[in-house]
């Protein structure tokens, strides 16, 4: 895989001079193929794909409205948007995915959790997989409708420590610790596993859903046969409809197979809305006895509205890269492959020729992910298995749009729990399978490290 990337890269370097006149397929700016949008302002993750047919724009706008709707407690006068809770995390999708961008940890210690959540489970008996918490379920809901108490209040604190690079450069990193206070139904008890996660940006996911499973599996190397220290495993999930295993692609541990299931799961877990996929809300049986509230219809989020919401996510364009031909950026791009970042952050993938909706079909895309799970070491581990993902494994996140995150989301926090404050910190947290790659990065002269970061900023 890495050799192929070199050849590609060689080609790209040779064609630098011709960029302006090059055909679309060699245009390095087109991260999302023909869906790519040329927008660099705070709305750059929220635009419809450049190649979306005009007749689909109304459907996109309607889906956008559902994504931004503030749901209310049932019964309400607007019956199609009632049924919130009774316990929930936010009242809208966009409450966490603000402007379709990424969430962040609270701004101050003890501050409210506005765009981040904690998944919960308890360790099983020896040999058994962990399951959801018997009282609090699989996710802590830190908000509730009027008259109902939230499940608890998550709190994060950070302990600073210093990393020294081989050339003496010192970087301060912050190690987070999580606690849940004001627990409504008593202590969480022994064997608790917690996984704090920020809301990822949501652009380009339709394209990732449209990549053939076999292309992703080809990148997997579970036994590390090529001995590059990097393995990569798929997260196989139980299929909801047929029972056959399906490939996980979405979420920080690839714990969701499709945008439809992801959106319905979010409606259920994060907003407390039922759908045809998840017909009961997320209260555990223990809570059901104690909290009774009227529902907002059966289901609360109709199939028609769920379809529109999914279409909206499929139709979001990917922002174009900037400064692709700047010498520092090109040098950084070469180093990205040379030190081995590209062995997980796969630069190029292709979507299926018959993908639906048609604007997603046959695209050459540059997401910088293999959609596979990697052991990232003990420091990043949450210790909480998620389907076939172990407590140490995370899915390689796509890097497209990285350089616009500050403009869109107003911050540069990175990684699954937002502990990194910038791309340099994010890289320094990489360990496990990425250990050798991180070492090579750390050993680069300062100028080369800066070039690699400049490349990341151009994405």
Q: Which residues bind ligand HEC (CB under 6 A)?
A: 67, 89-90, 93, 95-97, 115, 117, 197-200, 202, 205, 230, 250-253, 255, 259, 262-263, 266-267, 270-271, 309, 313, 339-341, 343-345, 374, 376, 380, 394, 396-397, 399, 414-416, 423, 426-427, 430, 433-434, 437, 441, 456
CB of 345 to ligand HEC, least distance (A): 5
CB of 119 to ligand HEC, least distance (A): 6
CB of 21 to ligand HEC, least distance (A): 30
CB of 318 to ligand HEC, least distance (A): 12
Alpha carbons 257 and 264: distance in angstroms, whole number: 12
Alpha carbons 387 and 200: distance in angstroms, whole number: 20
Alpha carbons 185 and 434: distance in angstroms, whole number: 40
Q: Which residue, 109 or 443, is less far from ligand HEC as judged by CB?
A: 443
Q: Which residue, 359 or 374, is less far from ligand HEC as judged by CB?
A: 374
Q: Which residue, 225 or 289, is less far from ligand HEC as judged by CB?
A: 225
CB of 103 to ligand HEC, least distance (A): 6
Q: Which residue, 30 or 259, is less far from ligand HEC as judged by CB?
A: 259
Q: Which of 408, 396, 404, 421 is nearest to 456 (CA)?
A: 404
Q: Which residue, 20 or 65, is less far from ligand HEC as judged by CB?
A: 65
How far is residue 222 from each of residues 244, 245, 438, measured CA to CA in Å? 21, 18, 20
What's 26's DSSP letter? G
CB of 104 to ligand HEC, least distance (A): 11
Under a CB-based contact definition with an 8 Å cutoff, are residues 205 and 316 in contact?
A: yes
Alpha carbons 240 and 28: distance in angstroms, whole number: 38
Q: Which residue, 28 or 371, is less far from ligand HEC as judged by CB?
A: 371
Q: Which residue, 247 or 313, is less far from ligand HEC as judged by CB?
A: 313
Question: CA angle, 101 as apex, 182 and 104 as ends, to 5°?
Answer: 30
Alpha carbons 302 and 276: distance in angstroms, whole number: 8
Alpha carbons 153 and 188: distance in angstroms, whole number: 13
CB of 22 to ligand HEC, least distance (A): 26
Q: Which residue, 313 or 320, is less far from ligand HEC as judged by CB?
A: 313
How big, in percent rounded to 5, are the helix, strand and coil portions of the chain?
Answer: 35, 15, 50
Q: Where are the alpha helices (DSSP H) in 26-136?
A: 57-68, 93-96
Distance of CA 242 to the CA centre of its chain: 26
What's 205's DSSP letter? H
**What are 13's two structure tokens?**
């370097």
CB of 159 to ligand HEC, least distance (A): 17
């Amino acid at each position: 895989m890495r050799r192929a990337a070199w050849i590609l890269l060689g080609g790209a370097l040779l064609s630098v001079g011709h960029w302006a006149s090059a055909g679309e397929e060699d245009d390095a700016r087109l991260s999302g193929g023909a869906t790519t949008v040329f927008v660099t302002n705070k709305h750059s993750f929220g635009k419809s794909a450049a190649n979306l047919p005009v007749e689909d724009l109304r459907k996109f706008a309607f889906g956008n409205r559902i994504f931004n709707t503030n749901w209310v407690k049932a019964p309400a006068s607007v019956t199609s948007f009632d049924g919130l809770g009774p316990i929930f995390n936010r009242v809208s999708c966009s409450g966490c995915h603000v402007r379709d961008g990424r969430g962040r940890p609270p701004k101050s210690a003890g501050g409210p959790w506005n765009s981040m959540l904690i998944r919960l489970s308890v360790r099983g008996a020896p040999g058994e997989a962990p399951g959801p918490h018997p009282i609090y379920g699989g996710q802590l809901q830190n908000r509730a409708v009027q008259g109902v108490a939230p499940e608890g209040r998550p709190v994060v604190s950070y302990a600073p420590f210093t990393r020294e690079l081989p050339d003496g450069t010192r970087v301060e990193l912050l190690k987070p610790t999580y606690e849940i206070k004001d627990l409504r139904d008593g202590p969480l008890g022994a064997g608790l596993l917690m996984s704090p996660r920020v809301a990822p940006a949501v652009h380009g996911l339709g394209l990732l859903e449209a990549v053939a499973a076999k292309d992703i599996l080809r990148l997997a190397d579970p036994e590390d046969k090529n001995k590059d220290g990097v393995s990569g495993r798929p997260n196989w999930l139980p299929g909801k409809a047929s029972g056959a295993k399906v490939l996980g692609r979405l979420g920080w541990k690839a714990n969701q197979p499709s945008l439809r299931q992801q959106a319905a799961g979010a409606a259920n877990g994060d907003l407390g809305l039922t759908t045809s996929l998840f017909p009961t809300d997320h209260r555990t049986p223990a809570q059901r006895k104690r909290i009774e509230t009227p529902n907002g219809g059966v289901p609360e989020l109709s199939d028609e509205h769920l379809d529109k919401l999914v279409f909206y996510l499929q139709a979001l364009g990917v922002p174009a890269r900037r400064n692709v031909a700047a010498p520092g950026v090109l040098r950084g791009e070469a180093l990205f492959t040379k030190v081995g970042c590209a062995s997980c952050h796969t630069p190029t993938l292709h979507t299926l020729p018959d993908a639906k909706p048609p604007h997603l079909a046959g695209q050459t895309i540059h997401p910088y992910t293999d959609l596979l799970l990697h052991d990232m070491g003990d420091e990043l581990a949450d210790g909480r298995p998620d389907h076939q993902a172990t407590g140490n494994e995370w899915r390689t996140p796509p890097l497209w749009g990285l350089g616009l995150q500050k403009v869109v989301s107003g911050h540069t926090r990175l990684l699954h729990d937002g502990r990194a404050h910038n791309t340099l910190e994010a890289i320094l947290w990489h360990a496990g399978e990425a250990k050798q790659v991180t070492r090579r990065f750390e050993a680069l002269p300062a100028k080369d490290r800066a070039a690699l970061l400049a490349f990341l900023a151009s994405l």
